[in-house]
Chain A
Amino acid sequence: MPPSPSAAAVGRALKAFARVVGADHVFADQADREAYSDHFALDEARHAPAAAIAPATVEEVRAIVRLANEHKVPLWPISRGKNFGYGGAAPVLKGSIVLDLSRMKKIEVDAANGTVLVEPGVGFFDLYDHLQANKIPLWLSVPGNSWGSVAGNALDRGVGYTSYGDHNARICGLEAVLPDGDLVRTGMGAMAGSPTWQLYKPGFGPSWDTMFAQSNFGIVTKLGLWLMPEPESMLGFDFEFDKPDDLGWTVDVLAGLRREGIIQQSPSIGNWLRSAAVLTTRQEWTTKPGALDESVVTAIRKRFNIGWWSVQTRFYGPIEITEATAKVVRKAFDGHTPLSIKPARWVRGDKPEGSPMTGVPVTFPLANANWHGGRGGHVGYSPVLPARGDLAMAQFRRTYARYNEFGMDYHASFAMGERSLTNVNQVLFDKDNAEMVGRVDRFFRALVADAAAERYGEYRTHIEYMDLVAATYDFNDHALLRLNQRVKDALDPNGIIAPGKSGIWPARYREQKA
């Protein structure tokens, strides 16, 4: 890791920043540094920031960026700082100054066109509240833990459960402050006052929206997003499966339905620990170290009446279409024997369904971080593989063996994309168990190496592992990383925006790393 900026440089910069945002919005004592660290990390101190500052407007952001260039101090922009499992609010480079955008909370909904323009501080609960209070018949797509920012989640390629669940794909138009303080709008927003900024994605000429996803090429200050008009109905099925081997054929059935567009959301096939970790702690089941044995797995399944795997599918739209879809989906499972199939049905006029399947934000899934009791931590490992049953089974067996080898409890899901399958593993650990913390680090590195051997890469990773994961993208001796570095150096010669994000280090830090 390159050295942190000097305390003197940070001190001078903070004085200058205070003149922009006001001293009340500069947070630089020890409690502040801890508050902006990653509460769920293996080792918080490795990524502790020096301070945080919270601007309220895009003009303040631009002024801060110009001053950061002058003082050559690194900024780590966050929207709401709730990227739990991937670093929370904390920077890759220790001693960076967190640029907290959570005060920027403007919401502009275009109800007729089903779009919204949000600032980074707008959380899923804020937007939900806004739609409810104004009786706007649009639905959100929310992630499993919906504490975070709508814009931040979409930029980090977060996912939800409705047919708008690929959040990044629903972005339409951005406003971003570039590393020199310039301000740009992408897509049709490049034309001042255009009424189609949130309606037509590409714009004219090269399209830059994706440049700001999981990157450090700018600071997004406004994000356009398409929202789903409230459908007339939502139908679906909850499937339970008895055996680990049922994963293979289930993936093949669902992959076909996804490719054909019969199912338009992302069903997620998850194992028994999902229920147990949210609703109980490990010590209720066993005090034995090592991965949970079969008797515990059986007891968990019995208590929650669940399969080895579970998956929910949902379809949205006019009732004639969702009922027809339900028939097609049910028929696709003919000849297979799930443990149980339970229909789900919500029709406009029914009581609110109240779950993320209808776009209602929740946070209780994060209770699973407490699985080991005490101060729980978690870290996400999420390789992308082809949507093929045999490959999913091989991934499952390989990874399951690693969990057993490292004595960790298996906690995974396989989420169906349109053409791919993302194997999301949420590794749960006890932060106060130093031996386990060390073991999780070795476990994680082994998992990344296993995936890379199959030529699978992670779709997203924790700040601690960004270099590790970036290094696995190795075509032509890491040509993509070189391209990212060239773009970074051209846009950000002083390397002030999020050094190390996604493995992209500015030139002056690369020299210090070497």
Chain B
Amino acid sequence: MRRLLVPIALLVAASALAQPYTPPPPGLKAPPPSTASALAGGEALFVEKCGMCHRRMGMGTVLLARRGTPDTAELEKRKDLTADYIVQAARSGIGNMPRISRGEVNDVQLGAIASYLVHGAVR
């Protein structure tokens, strides 16, 4: 599996953009997002349901990086997350993270994602 994440420094170095009709950061040269198809279990669900924001070039990664230390921006590398906290964050939203509905990620799926983030992938 490709381990994500353009360094945040690269994003910051690139003069970025915004929203509808806006261009990407000039000069950004990066591999495309890793895809979910080859994965399984909580990891595959994390990539499918959360990866767009919490992996490379994701809104969540950028926001966490600029809010705290870049080292903790990437959820998959964190050691301080608990399953309860992850479920709470997803269902209640945090700051700019919208609440994730049960239609989008059901309780069983969210449990598997939380388990993956806390314990890592089951191989």
Contact = CB atoms under 8 A, between A and B. Distances in A.
Interface of A: 24-25, 27, 31-32, 34-37, 39-40, 52, 54, 80-81, 84-85, 88-89, 100, 102-103, 123, 125-126, 128-130, 132-133, 143-147, 158-159, 161, 238, 266-268, 270, 273-275, 277-281, 304-306, 310-312, 342, 344, 351-357, 360-370, 374-376, 378, 380, 382, 411, 413, 415, 422, 424, 426
29 contacts: A27-B103, A84-B98, A88-B98, A123-B52, A125-B33, A126-B48, A133-B38, A145-B19, A145-B59, A159-B20, A270-B23, A277-B18, A278-B16, A278-B18, A304-B15, A305-B15, A306-B15, A312-B23, A312-B24, A342-B27, A360-B33, A362-B24, A364-B62, A365-B22, A366-B59, A367-B62, A367-B66, A370-B95, A422-B21
Given A40-B98, A365-B22, A352 B31 contact: yes
A125 B53 CA distance: 11
Contact of A81 (B20, B23, B51, B104): B104
The residue among B18, B37, B100 with the most chain A CB atoms within 10 A of its own CB is B18
Q: Chain A interface mostly helix, strand, loop or mixed? A: mixed
Given A102-B104, A125-B48, A363-B59, 15 more contacts: A36-B103, A54-B103, A128-B32, A128-B35, A129-B36, A132-B32, A146-B52, A161-B24, A274-B22, A351-B29, A353-B29, A362-B24, A367-B66, A380-B20, A426-B19
Nearest to A360: B32
Contacts of B101: 27, 32, 35-36, 52, 81, 89, 100
A348 B35 CA distance: 21
B40 interface: no
A433 B103 CA distance: 31
Q: Chain B interface mostly helix, strand, loop or mixed? A: loop
Contacts of A238: 26-27
Contacts of A275: 15-17, 25
Contact of A35 (B37, B57, B91): B91
A382 B21 CA distance: 11
The residue among A88, A145, A351 with the most chain B CB atoms within 10 A of its own CB is A145
Given A304-B15, A354-B28, A366 B23 contact: no
B96 A367 contact: yes
B26 A312 contact: yes
Nearest to A272: B15
A306 B32 CA distance: 26
B93 interface: yes
The residue among B6, B29, B36, B52 with the most chain A CB atoms within 10 A of its own CB is B52
Contacts of A354: 6, 28-32, 57
Contacts of A102: 103-104
B66 A279 contact: yes
Given A35-B102, A80-B104, A129-B36, A366 B16 contact: no
A355 B25 contact: yes
Contacts of A411: 18
Contacts of A52: 101, 103
Contact of A367 (B21, B26, B59, B92): B59
A147 B103 CA distance: 15
Contact of A128 (B33, B53, B66, B103): B33
The residue among B15, B27, B28 with the most chain A CB atoms within 10 A of its own CB is B15
B18 to A, nearest CB: 4
Given A36-B101, A125-B33, A146-B52, A368 B19 contact: yes
Nearest to A301: B15
A305 B26 CA distance: 11
A129 B16 contact: no
Given A32-B101, A370-B96, A143 B20 contact: yes
B61 interface: yes
Contacts of A25: 103
Nearest to A80: B104
Contacts of B60: 363
